[in-house]
Amino acid sequence: MPDPALTPAAAPVTLSGVAASPGTGIGPAFILSAPDLSFETLTGQDPAAERVRLDAALAGSRTDLHGVREGARARLGDDAAAIFDAHLLLLDDPELGAAIQESLTGGANAEAAVHGAFEAFIGMFESLDDPYLRERAADLRDLRARVLSHLLGRPLASLAELREPAIVVAHDLTPSDTAGLDPALVRGVVTAVGGRTSHSAIMARGLGLPAVVGVGEAALAGLTRGTPLIVSGDAGTVTVHPDAAALNAAQAAQAAAHAEHARLDALKGQEGRTADGLRVELAANIGSPTEVPGALNAGAEGVGLYRTEFLFLGRDDLPGEDEQYRAYRAVLEGMAGRPVIIRTLDIGGDKALPALGLPHEENPFLGFRAIRLCLARPDLFRVQLRALLRASVHGQLHVMFPMIATVQEFLDARAHLDAARAELTAEGVPVAADIPVGMMVEIPAAAALSEQFARHADFFSVGSNDLIGYAMAADRMNERVANLYQPLNPAVLTLIALTCQGAARHGRWVGVCGEMAGDPLALPLLVGLGVTELSMSSPALLPRREQVLNLNAAQARELAAHALTLSHAAEVEAAVRAAYPHLTPTDA
């Protein structure tokens, strides 16, 4: 029987967007948007009455913070909870309290008193050199918003406030929003903007949450907190005010997905190997240590890509060596001896880092990003490399450099790694002896010169998300050129073939860690071209494992060789579908 809370109050409406993460979610909307905290500045107010309002707001803030802190502790651990301990301490700060009281005594309304007192403290912290203390300014801003939201009666919408199962609806989700999602409460994600390879989509897939992105701002404008929704991450649709028939269909889809999951679960312990014996390792892409249990649960044989930039995003400061070390160590220990490929900072492009204060660029995807930035900022790079090397004794670390365009960049990056190792050794800090050092192949120049790169790099991982974008000159985020973003274009396949050929000459292995690795249509082609490791978001792992177990590598090689002779992506798709007729359109 449909949940009475979801009984439609209006006629059902179906919104369309991009199917970003599979599955079906049913629940009330939780709108994640910053409330309007503007207020009028008043004078001549009654100080005692304003004090009562303020005390109520402070008490409300304290109650929130206790709840948020415990939620963060349970989900994300003690480090995340400590942030809210700091907020609680700031709330009772005597100097701040005295400044607020002084304004109240002068006749200010509580909103103006709070705003003004916090502003003075924020300015003071922001002017300090110590990055730790500067970070406190961000805490003060957060805290001020919380107190004002209580005074104004306009609740803050933060995912940490989520207490009941819901579907999160937002303009977009920042990586830190997504990292704060509690998969136990979030039934699905709907965003106004973004595409399949936007980072919010990738994170939703990593957490196994149904998601539809790019629905458009106007379509979401009519939704309010509690609006009943169904998110179909397979169809890319959102049903608003679903009727009984839609709810029944959604529940049936959930039951079918559940049964399919139970069937695939049996494959978890099996090693990735084709029917004719070729080893193909199936690894997980993760963005934070919290994704490790999900990866293991999906039978990941390793981590093929840990995107470390998520540690850096959504904050006003930079993570220090110890904080980074703890995150890398947690992943290595969590994976318990399985190989873990940690990619060094890939910032720039669609991932901005405010703490670096980088100037605006006309073409950020062709600009100062990833390894280019790291080589220009050894101060930043060395901190990460030292943290990685320190963590190396806790598992099977592989280091990977992103966005490599020239052989010199790879050599320079590795020289920094060697120097960091020498530094640590001189300090008496233990470092693992054997750490493979590889690179992403996501710039066509790297694919073209793969033989020369393979003289130096221990392994390659094809970043197909960017490689397709650069090969086709089509921005992966731009819906207007989405028709050109063609994973199966023979030009893209040729670049991957070149990568595999160059690698083979020096006995190096090639993986794929872009979204193509989890695409069932691409899988036989990739294996046929010589790729022996596929790294993808965890929910894709079991279905792709089943596909690998049933695949004949010799047949895949023939198919791939044929695909390289074709002219159109559509012809390649037709050839794959002809060879594997059981691949249904929804598998794509």
Cα(523)–Cα(357) distance, rounded to whole angstroms? Answer: 40
What gap in Å lies between CA 509 and CA 208, rounded to an integer? 29
Q: Is 20 in the site for ligand PEP (CB under 6 A)?
A: no
Least Å distance, CB 169 to ligand PEP, is 24
Tell me whether strands 13-16 and 228-232 are parallel, antiparallel or unpaired: unpaired
Of 87, 150, 307, 421, the residue at the interface with ligand PEP (CB under 6 A) is 307
Which residues, in sequence order, are bridge partners of residue 460?
439, 510
Q: Taking the complex as a whole, how short is the minimal distance between the CB of residue 364 and Mg ion, in angstroms?
A: 13
Beta bridge partners of 24: 232
Residue 307: name its binding partner from ligand PEP, Mg ion, none (Cβ under 5 to 8 Å by kind). Answer: ligand PEP
Residue number with CB closer to ligand PEP (241 or 307) = 307
Residue 464 interaction partner, one of ligand PEP, Mg ion, none, beta carbon < 5-8 Å per kind: ligand PEP
Buried b (16+ CB within 10 A) or exposed e, 470-507: bbbebbbbeeeebebbbbbbbebbbbbbbbbbbbeeee
Contacts of 534 (CB under 8 A, 6+ apart): 272, 280, 281, 282, 283, 304, 511, 512, 517, 518, 523, 526, 544, 548
DSSP 8-state class, residue 495: H
Measured distance CA(276)–CA(54) in Å, rounded: 72
**Beta strands across the sheet bearing 228-232:** 13-16, 237-240, 228-232, 24-32, 166-170, 186-191, 211-213, 18-21
Q: What six digits make up the tokens of 538?
A: 């965890």
Cβ neighbours around 269 below 10 Å, total: 7
3-state secondary structure 182-241: CCCCEEEEEECCCCCCCHHHHHHHHCCCCEEECCCHHHHCCCCCCCEEEEECCCCEEEEC
- Angle at the Cα of 116 (from 113 to 119), degrees rounded to 5? 145
Is 466 among the residues that bind ligand PEP (CB under 6 A)? yes
Site residues (CB under 5 A) for Mg ion?
Answer: 442, 463, 466
- 20 with 207: CB under 8 angstroms? no
- Residues tagged active-site: 199, 513
Q: Give 187 or 307: the residue with its C-beta nearer to ligand PEP.
A: 307
Which one of ligand PEP, Mg ion, none interacts with residue 50, CB within 5 to 8 A by kind?
none
For the window 339-378, what string marks contact with ligand PEP as x by the rule CB under 6 A? -------x--------------------------------
Our CB check for ligand PEP shows the closer of 287 and 299 to be 287
CA–CA gap between residue 6 and residue 242 (Å, rounded) = 8
> Considering beta carbons, is residue 194 or 228 the nearer one to ligand PEP?
194
Judged by beta carbon, residue 113 or residue 303, the one nearer ligand PEP is 303
Exposed, middle or buried by CB within 10 Å (0-12, 13-18, 19+), for 435?
middle
Tell me the closest approach of the beta carbon of residue 547 to ligand PEP, in angstroms: 20
Q: How far is the CB of 413 from ligand PEP (least distance, A)?
A: 16
Site string for ligand PEP, 500-519 (x = CB under 6 A): -------------xx-----
By CB under 6 A, how many residues form the interface with ligand PEP?
10
Among 465, 489, 532, 547, binds ligand PEP (CB under 6 A): 465
Residue with Cβ nearer ligand PEP (111 or 442) = 442
CB of 305 to ligand PEP, least distance (A): 6
Burial letters 440-463, b for 16+ CB under 10 A, else e: bbbbbebbebbeebbeebbbbbbb
Nearer to Mg ion, 409 or 466 (CB): 466
Give the count of beta carbons closer than 10 Å to the beta carbon of residue 244: 13
What minimum distance in Å lies between the beta carbon of 549 and Mg ion?
29
Q: Which does 111 bind (CB under 5 to 8 A by kind): ligand PEP, Mg ion, none?
A: none
The one among 28, 233, 319, 463 contacting ligand PEP by CB under 6 A: 463
Pick the stretch among 27-35, 100-108, 359-367, 462-470 that binds ligand PEP (CB under 6 A).
462-470
Q: Is 21 in the site for ligand PEP (CB under 6 A)?
A: no
| Distance (Å, whole) CA 117 – CA 101 | 9
Under the binding rule (CB under 6 A), the answer on residue 464 touching ligand PEP is yes
- Region from 97-105, 177-185, 377-385, 461-469 binding ligand PEP, contact rule CB under 6 A: 461-469
Instruction: Identify which of residues 139 and 442 has a Cβ nearer to Mg ion in the complex.
Output: 442
CA–CA distance, 86 with 79 (Å, rounded to integer): 11
Q: How far is the CB of 475 from ligand PEP (least distance, A)?
A: 12
When CB distances are held under 5 to 8 angstroms depending on the partner's kind, the choice from ligand PEP, Mg ion, none that residue 513 binds is: ligand PEP
Q: Which one of Mg ion, ligand PEP, none is in contact with 573 (Cβ closer than 5 to 8 A by kind)?
A: none
In Å, what is the CA distance from 109 to each residue of 202, 441, 540?
45, 59, 55
416 binds, among Mg ion, ligand PEP, none (CB under 5 to 8 A by kind): none
Structure tokens at 321: 């060596």
Cβ contacts of 79 within 8 Å, gap of 6 or more: 323, 326
Between CA 22 and CA 25 the distance in angstroms is: 10
Chain residue whose CB lies nearest Mg ion: 466
Choice between 22 and 514, CB closer to ligand PEP: 514
Site map for ligand PEP, 421-460, x if CB under 6 A? Answer: ---------------------x------------------
Binding site for ligand PEP (CB under 6 A): 305, 307, 346, 442, 463-466, 513-514
